[in-house]
Amino acid sequence: MTEPLRRSVLCCAVLLLAPVSLVIGFRAAGADGPTPVPQALAFLPWLLVPGAAGLGLAALARWRGGLGWAAVVLALTVWFVRPYGPGATGAHGPVLARLDVLTSNVEFGEATDALITAVRRERPDVVFVQECDLGCADALDARVPATSYPYREVVRLDGSLGSAILSRFPLRPAGRVAGEMAMPGAVAVVAGREVRLQLAHPMPPVPGGVALWRRELGRIRDLAASVRAAPAVVAGDFNASQDHAAFRAVLDAGGLHDSARLAGASRTYSWPADRTTPLRTQIDHVLVSDAFSVRSARFLRLAATDHRALLVALELHGGG
């Protein structure tokens, strides 16, 4: 290899490894950083591709320092790809009730028909709906029988702002988490126990909006911390993955567990579902407290939305 060519290969290796190192550095520090770090963290497993390419180029150029650099970057990336959190909740005692929970972002109400079809087919006990516009709210009222879901907490707003919680169990309102998009809460009575239900839908970490995203996830974290000792389900479109520090803080503050992780699906994508891009991530979650165990988690493709719905089968225990 000629010296000019070697220099070009070295330059390419650096250009690949430097941005990956930046993102992995923030992940290792437990911080989300400024744009473009939060956006890149959403797709962290894909950093293995430029990392491996950087390793190959360093080997081609016989650059020992680059080989070590790339090896460290790849090792850290592989470490962080592992599922976050314990593999089971602390649930114990007798099973008081089994309940299925469905969460779905219907994208400005466009997927309302598909959601109603899924609800009729799957018959979940609790349904969390994000981006439920006025037409969506009307459709749920008209086409989802009150005999099936007699208890509801619906915030009627247009566009992406509206949200809804539908329940077979008695509900009482429990206030909202403040945010640009509605995040209602309720308390359900399940087998004689009170269960806090909270819909999550913070703003996404778009360029220029990272501070707002972090602030709204912080409010969800505070809510989770306030109900730490109680049975709780926090579900919705978090606009965050397990690789975001702000999302991990929600889990840790409330002692919550990501049901998909417990069901062995921690890296199953939920967004974007309407494109063929390989860059996909899981930002739709059902988080549960130690009062619950998870039997299964399934991601459902619904037409007309860029999110896959998530259906989780839970068991409520008497000693959790």
Considering the chain, what percentage of its residues have pLDDT values greater than 90?
96
CA distance 311 to 307: 13
Map tokens 């739709």 to a residue. Answer: 284
Helix (H, G, I), strand (E, B) or coil at 134: helix
Encoded tokens for 158: 């247009």
Q: Where are the domains positioned within the chain?
A: 3-81, 95-317
pLDDT band for 319, please (50, 70, 90 cuts): confident
Residue 47 scores a pLDDT above 70: yes
Considering the chain, what percentage of its residues have pLDDT values greater than 70?
100
Report the CATH superfamily, name and number, of domain 95-317: Endonuclease/exonuclease/phosphatase (3.60.10.10)
Window from 215-219, 225-229, 234-238, 248-252 with minimum mean pLDDT: 225-229
Which pTM was predicted?
0.97
Query: What pLDDT score was predicted for residue 1?
Result: 72
Q: 127, 165 in Cβ contact below 8 A? A: yes
- 189-209 per-position pLDDT tens digit: 999 999 999 999 999 999 999
Encoded tokens for 310: 């998530």
- 278-287 per-position pLDDT tens digit: 999 999 999 9
CA distance 224 to 215: 14
Phi, psi of 220 (to 5 degrees): -65, -40
Query: What pLDDT score was predicted for residue 4?
Result: 82
CA distance 184 to 188: 13
